[in-house]
Structure 1
Amino acid sequence: MKLIKRTFLLLATVITLIIFFNYPKLNIIAGYSAKSTASSVFLAKRSLSLTDKTDNNFSPINLANDIVSEIKKEATATAIGLLKRKASYRDGLGAVLIPNKKTKLVNNKPKRSTPDLKTPFPYGNKAPKDTVFNNINYTKIRSAVDDIFNDSTQTRAALVIYKDQIIAEKYDTGFDKNSLLLGWSMTKSITSTIFGILQCQGKINIQDNAPFDEWKNDERKNITIHNLLQMNSGLEWDEDYNSISDVTKMLFLEEDMTKVQLEKPLIGKPNERWNYSSGTTNLLSGILRKQFDSHQEYLDFWYTNLIDKIGMNSMVIETDAKGNYVGSSYAWATARDWAKLGLLYLHNGNWNGTNLFDKDWVNYATTPTPTSDGWYGAQIWLNAGSRYSDLPKNMFSFDGYQGQYVFIIPDYDLVIVRLGLTKNIDFNQYLKKIINSIQ
Structure 2
Amino acid sequence: MKKFFKFVGIGIFVVFLYVAITSYPKLDLISGFSAKSVASGHFIDNRSQEMIEKGDNDINLIDLAKNSINESGKFATASVYGLKERKAIYREGLGATLINDEFDDSKPYLVPKRTLSINNLPFPYGNLEAKDSIFNTIDYTKLNVAVANAFNTEGKIDKRTRSLLVIYKDKIIAEKYDVGFDKESKILGWSMTKSITSAMFGILEKQGKMNIYAPAPIPEWANDERKSITTNDLLHMNSGLEWEEKYDKICDATKMLFQAEDMTISQLEKPAAYKPNTHWNYSSGTTNLLSGILRKQFKTHQEYLDFWYGALIDKIGMNSMILETDMKGNYVGSSYGWATTRDWAKFGLLYLHKGNWNGEQIFNESWATYTATPTNTSNGDYGGHFWLNSGGKFPDVPRDMYYCGGFQGQMVVIIPSLDLVIVRMGLKENPEFDFNKMFKEIIRSLKK
Q: TM-score range by the shorter chain?
A: over 0.9
- Equivalents in 2 of 1:4, 1:132: separation in Å? 76
Instruction: Decide which moves more: 348-357 or 424-433.
Output: 424-433
Q: What whole-Å deviation, never above 9, does each CA across 1:315-334 have from its counterpart, x for those lacking one?
A: 00100010000000000000
**Equivalent residues of 1:116, 1:126 under 8 A apart:** no
Q: What whole-Å deviation, never above 9, does each CA across 1:260-294 have from its counterpart, x for those lacking one?
A: 00000001000000000000000000000010010
- Count of residue correspondences: 439
Unaligned runs of 5+ in 1: none
Kindly, what percent of the aligned residue pairs are identical? 58
**Equivalent residues of 2:94, 2:324 under 8 A apart:** yes
Question: Secondary structure of 2:67's match?
Answer: strand
How far does residue 365 in structure 1 lie from its aligned partner after superposition? Answer: 1.0
Of the three residues 358, 369, 385, the one matched with 2:364 is: 358
Q: What whole-Å deviation, never above 9, does each CA across 1:134-158 have from its counterpart, x for those lacking one?
A: 1111111110000010021100000
Are 1:42 and 2:43 matched, yes or no?
A: yes
Aligned position for 1:143: 145
Aligned position for 1:432: 440
Superposition pairs of residues 13-412 of structure 1, within 5 angstroms: 15=16, 18-102=19-103, 107-116=109-118, 118-150=120-152, 151-412=157-418
How far does residue 16 in structure 1 lie from its aligned partner after superposition? Answer: 5.5
Question: Secondary structure of 1:195's match?
Answer: helix
**Equivalent residues of 2:116, 2:317 under 8 A apart:** no
Question: Secondary structure of 1:332's match?
Answer: strand
Instruction: Decide which moves more: 125-134 or 320-329.
Output: 125-134
- Equivalents in 1 of 2:189, 2:19: separation in Å? 35
TM-score, normalised to structure 2, is 0.94
Q: What whole-Å deviation, never above 9, does each CA across 1:47-106 have from its counterpart, x for those lacking one?
A: 011111111112110010100000001100011222211100010100011123345677
The one-letter code matched in structure 2 to 1:257 is M
**Equivalent residues of 1:106, 1:323 under 8 A apart:** no
- Equivalents in 1 of 2:75, 2:381: separation in Å? 39
The one-letter code matched in structure 2 to 1:68 is I
- Equivalents in 2 of 1:302, 1:114: separation in Å? 14
Question: Secondary structure of 2:90's match?
Answer: strand
Question: Secondary structure of 2:265's match?
Answer: coil
How far does residue 19 in structure 1 lie from its aligned partner after superposition? Answer: 2.9
**Equivalent residues of 1:103, 1:321 under 8 A apart:** no
- Equivalents in 2 of 1:82, 1:8: separation in Å? 25
The one-letter code matched in structure 2 to 1:145 is V
Instruction: Decide which moves more: 181-190 or 107-116.
Output: 107-116
How far does residue 114 in structure 1 lie from its aligned partner after superposition? Answer: 2.1
**Equivalent residues of 1:110, 1:296 under 8 A apart:** yes
Instruction: Decide which moves more: 231-240 or 104-113.
Output: 104-113
Unaligned runs of 5+ in 2: none
**Equivalent residues of 2:191, 2:407 under 8 A apart:** yes
- Equivalents in 2 of 1:47, 1:428: separation in Å? 33
**Equivalent residues of 1:257, 1:282 under 8 A apart:** yes
TM-score, normalised to structure 1, is 0.96
**Equivalent residues of 2:103, 2:327 under 8 A apart:** no
Question: Secondary structure of 2:78's match?
Answer: strand
Structure 1 pair 269–325 and aligned structure 2 pair: CA distance change class (3 A)? same
Q: What whole-Å deviation, never above 9, does each CA across 1:226-282 have from its counterpart, x for those lacking one?
A: 000000100000010111111011000001000000000001000000000000000
Question: Secondary structure of 2:268's match?
Answer: helix
- Equivalents in 2 of 1:253, 1:353: separation in Å? 43
The one-letter code matched in structure 2 to 1:361 is W
Q: What whole-Å deviation, never above 9, does each CA across 1:395-427 have from its counterpart, x for those lacking one?
A: 100000000001101111000000001113221
The one-letter code matched in structure 2 to 1:222 is S
Question: Secondary structure of 2:304's match?
Answer: helix
- Equivalents in 2 of 1:115, 1:356: separation in Å? 15
